[in-house]
Structure 1
Amino acid sequence: MIPEIPPNRKDRLERWLKISPRILFRMPDFDRANIIAAIKEYAEYNLANSQIAKYDAVRSRRLSRNNRQITQFIVILAGALTFSVAPQLLAKQAGRGPWAISAGLLGGGLASFYAHSNATKVLTGIKLKNSTQNTRKTILDNTK
């Protein structure tokens, strides 16, 4: 975690942020350099805190492990019922009456599981890539 800035330092930095650039450029070079460095450090601190808050909000919206497992089970069950139609028809045409339903559900369940697993991996990868690019862009924009 990022260490907290003491309140008196934070107050001083807030006052320095309100100094007009004209007054700032009239200050001696040493003082001006120290003030600008402190303000830059404070801006990076605020950026880091805002990023942490953003990711905490994202994390809090995620489902718990049990809820994810229940959701995955429901998706696989619905997929098994949906994808089982074609294998059932093929098994019935082949004369496998009682085996048609179980073969269809098994095939549909496997297809649904792999489809859900691969879709989740792809979507997670895209989301992480976009978040990383946005964070990198924000940091580069703020350092210029």
Structure 2
Amino acid sequence: MTAKISPKRIERLERWLKIMPRTLLRMPDYDRANIIAAIKEYAKFNLANSQIAKYDAVRSRRLSRNQRQITQFIVILAGSLTFSVAPQLLAKQAGRGPWAISAGLLGGGLASFYAHSNATKVLTGIKLKNSTQNNRKAILERKN
């Protein structure tokens, strides 16, 4: 967590930010160096706070571990019901009458589990790729 800055200091820093560059150049070297150092420190403080706020917002949108497991269970259950038709037909053709429904649900559950895990991997890869590209662009823009 970042340190707190007193309201009086923030007011003073805000006033210093409004000083014209020509006025700043006329100041004595010692005062000018102190003002510039304080402004840089304040900028780092604001950047750190904005990053913390950004990541807090991302964290608050994420599901908890239990919520993710419940969601995954619901997806697999819905997928098992959806994908169970083909395994049921195959089991009936094979002459497994009473086992057809359970085989269909099991096959559908496995199919939906693998579909869900593969889709999650692909989406995570896309997110990481986009995030990396955005970070590279930001770094290159800062250098220029």
Q: TM-score range by the shorter chain?
A: 0.7 to 0.9
Report Cα offsets for 1:92-116 as digits up to 9, x if no partner.
1222212221111111111211221
Report Cα offsets for 1:15-59 as digits up to 9, x if no partner.
111111221222234432332232122112111111111211221
C-alpha displacement at 1:69, in angstroms? 2.1
Query: Counterpart of 2:36?
Result: 36
Query: Does 2:65 correspond to 1:65?
Result: yes
C-alpha displacement at 1:77, in angstroms? 0.5
AA partner of residue 4 (structure 2): E
Counting only pairs closer than 5 Å after superposition, residues 71-86 of structure 1 correspond to structure 2 as: 71-86=71-86
Report Cα offsets for 1:57-82 as digits up to 9, x if no partner.
22122223332222111100011111
List alignment gaps of at least 5 residues for structure 1.
none
List alignment gaps of at least 5 residues for structure 2.
none
Query: Counterpart of 1:100?
Result: 100
Secondary structure class of the residue paired with 1:97:
coil
Deviates more, 1:57-66 or 1:17-26: 57-66
Query: Counterpart of 1:122?
Result: 122
AA partner of residue 71 (structure 1): T
Number of residue equivalences: 144
User: What RMSD, in angstroms, separates the aligned Cα atoms of the two structures?
Assistant: 2.5
TM-score, L = length of structure 1: 0.81
Query: Counterpart of 1:16?
Result: 16
Identity of aligned residues (%): 85
